[in-house]
Amino acid sequence: MTRAEDCIFCNIIERHAPADIVYEDQHSIAFLDIYPLNPGHTLVVSKKHYATLDQMPPEEVGLLFATVAKVMKGVKEAVGADGINIGQSNGKAASQDVFHVHVHIIPRFSQESPGGDIFPNRKKLGKEEMEKLGRKVKSQVQTRS
């Protein structure tokens, strides 16, 4: 397993940093974003350290997005979302903050932006709320496995 010593996602994968993990298989891991755009905002991360998607072999990209599809359904059900945005950034110019390949699953709700054209502001949820939400998402993802 390739990793970067100072990478927060590598540290989460190896359980050296905390996270509310909602899904894991041999290729990827999914956990709640600590500054979510909406409750249930989840990150799906490759277990191998690649800074950007274009560095990944195509078969590994496919495995990552198979996990995205599975987790997305669980997130949507767990939070009762009306829709989902999938986001993936590559490079500083594209607003990538953590240079380890990851995909955002962002639940969206009709009442927040009727046309879906405005992104909500990030939120800070309490530890108990994050843990409860994590259990709910994990349960829904496992139901679909």
List the CATH number of the domain containing 92: 3.30.428.10
Q: Which residue has the higher pLDDT, 25 or 130?
A: 25
29 contact partners, CB below 8 Å, separation of at least 6: 12, 13, 21, 23, 44, 45, 47
Q: Per the domain annotation, does 3 fall within a domain?
A: no
Q: The domain containing residue 123 runs over which residues? A: 8-143
Domain count, the chain: 1
In-domain check, residue 2? no
Residue 59, both tokens: 């078969």
Q: Is residue 53 part of a domain?
A: yes
pTM to 2 decimal places? 0.84
Is 120 contained in some domain?
yes
Burial of 94 (0-12, 13-18, 19+ CB in 10 A): exposed
Query: Catalytic residues, which ones?
Result: 102
The reported pLDDT for the residue numbered 143 is 77
Comparing 21-30, 88-97, 125-134, which segment has the lowest mean pLDDT?
A: 125-134
Is 30 within a domain? yes
Contact between 98 and 35 under an 8 Å Cβ cutoff? The reply is no
